[in-house]
Structure 1
Amino acid sequence: MKRSSSLTLTTMLAGASLTVAACDDTPAAARWDQNSVAQGEQVETFQYADLDSCKTANQIPDAECDTAYAKALEDNDKSAPRFEAKASCEETYGAGNCVPRGSGGGSFFTPLLAGFVIGQLFDGGGNRYYRGTGLYRGRDGYTTGWGGTLGRDYATGRTTIGKYGIDPPDAVRQAPPRMQTRTSVVSRGGFGGGRGFGG
């Protein structure tokens, strides 16, 4: 009897939490924080500065280099980190590493593409496929537009990245990019102050 009551209460609490989540007007994809979400299982990756470097390395087929590079350029257009101000972008990616983008030639700033990464992934049937995306060089290393960070498997010496940092779920991929702005501004002159950013 006690077990039955406990199960009913647990089910009711789970239902309540789902109801609260359903009442939130913000779409799930928009709530996804690229910098804090679990990036999924680590997968082996290959990092290249450009298309020729990929083909010369002979680590993966040339056709996969072409496909991954094209995808990196596409992702750069759609998902490169966006900043309202050049100064904010350069605080993360370094002086001279941010460019104006968008309609009118400067509605926002993004970091320069510093190369691309190709991950070896497996589908639900255990078949291997490759996925590429762009890389940005920040003060703390290389990251993708999806919030993935390159790491190293010290047991094998191979470069790795979280699966979702290179191949995120469709809901995330289709969500509009988040514009990053300064969260605090000095009242006089409008510059300086904190280094935090918000959406």
Structure 2
Amino acid sequence: MKRTRKLTLTTLMAAGGVSLTACGDNPADNVRIENPGKSVDAWAYASLQECKDKNEVPDDACVKADAAAKEDEAKSPKYDQQATCEEVYGPGQCVPRSQANGGGSFWGPLMTGFIVGQMLDGGWGGRGMYRDWRDGGFYTSSGGRVWTDYSSGRTRVGSRGFDAPDVYNAPQKVRTRSSVISRGGFGGRMSARSSGGSRGWGG
């Protein structure tokens, strides 16, 4: 039986408390990015103010990560119906939005916060974070699984989890149920699950 450990975050944006759960100490079980890169420490926050108040990372790293999360949210996938969006992100995790210049309305995922981490080159990076209802995991907007190292209790993510999501370069079309089945939410790279086996994490 897999062991589980929970890292409790503070209040979500527009919601109550949330737990970030990682199954055992093999995060590759639910990885979306095929080659997630060397695992690095990460800190998860629900807001910019929380990030600054905790004093775990530099304030400028908090600001950078918060800005990246807002950018992710603005360019997040669009869904034609609430139910279609919630098939990926879960009940209550989608919100109505309007396209610019009278382009119509759509539904989009609610970001649960953002992560901050030190990159392999020594700099700080950050990305928005969201929950995928289909496996209950938390991911960055590029598809990197955010997990808790069972042995140390530290929050970890593959270094490529800080990459800009593939969806930025994809046509911003409103997604239907058929496209949800074929692609899903953020992070269009092949997942380790769908390729029939674990590719593993670096580090």
1:111-126 equivalence runs, <5 A: 111-123=109-121
Q: Select the residue among 85, 90, 93 that pairs with 2:86.
A: 90
Cα 1:173–1:97, aligned 2, differ >3 Å: closer, same or farther? closer
Cα 1:82–1:173, aligned 2, differ >3 Å: closer, same or farther? closer
TM-score normalised by structure 1 residue count: 0.64
Greater helix fraction, Structure 1 or Structure 2: 1
Cα 1:162–1:37, aligned 2, differ >3 Å: closer, same or farther? same
Q: Which runs of 5 or more residues in structure 2 are unaligned?
A: 1-30, 185-203
How much is the aligned-residue C-alpha RMSD, in angstroms?
Answer: 2.7
Q: Write the letter of the residue equivalent to 2:111.
A: L
CA distance in 1 between partners of 2:60 and 2:183 (Å): 39
Cα 1:106–1:166, aligned 2, differ >3 Å: closer, same or farther? farther
- Over residues 148-180 of structure 1, what are the superposed CA-to-partner deviations in whole Å (9 max), with x where a residue is unaligned? 1111222221111122222259xx475126654
Answering whether residue 181 of structure 2 is matched by residue 196 of structure 1, we say: yes
Answering whether residue 181 of structure 2 is matched by residue 183 of structure 1, we say: no
Q: Select the residue among 109, 125, 130 that pairs with 1:131.
A: 125
Q: Write the letter of the residue equivalent to 1:119.
A: G
Alignment correspondent of 1:143: 139
- Over residues 6-35 of structure 1, what are the superposed CA-to-partner deviations in whole Å (9 max), with x where a residue is unaligned? xxxxxxxxxxxxxxxxxxxxxxxxxxxx93
Question: SS in structure 1 opposite 2:170?
Answer: coil
Would you say how many aligned residue pairs link Structure 1 and Structure 2?
149
TM-score normalised by structure 2 residue count: 0.63
Larger RCO, structures 1/2 (Cα 8 Å, 6+ apart): 2
Q: Select the residue among 39, 62, 67 that pairs with 2:64.
A: 67
Larger Rg over CA atoms: 1
Question: SS in structure 1 opposite 2:123?
Answer: strand
Q: Select the residue among 146, 153, 159 that pairs with 2:155.
A: 159
What percent of counterpart residues are identical? 42
Q: Write the letter of the residue equivalent to 2:156.
A: T
Cα 1:164–1:50, aligned 2, differ >3 Å: closer, same or farther? same
CA distance in 1 between partners of 2:79 and 2:170 (Å): 14
Q: Which runs of 5 or more residues in structure 1 are unaligned?
A: 1-33, 185-194
Cα 1:90–1:105, aligned 2, differ >3 Å: closer, same or farther? farther
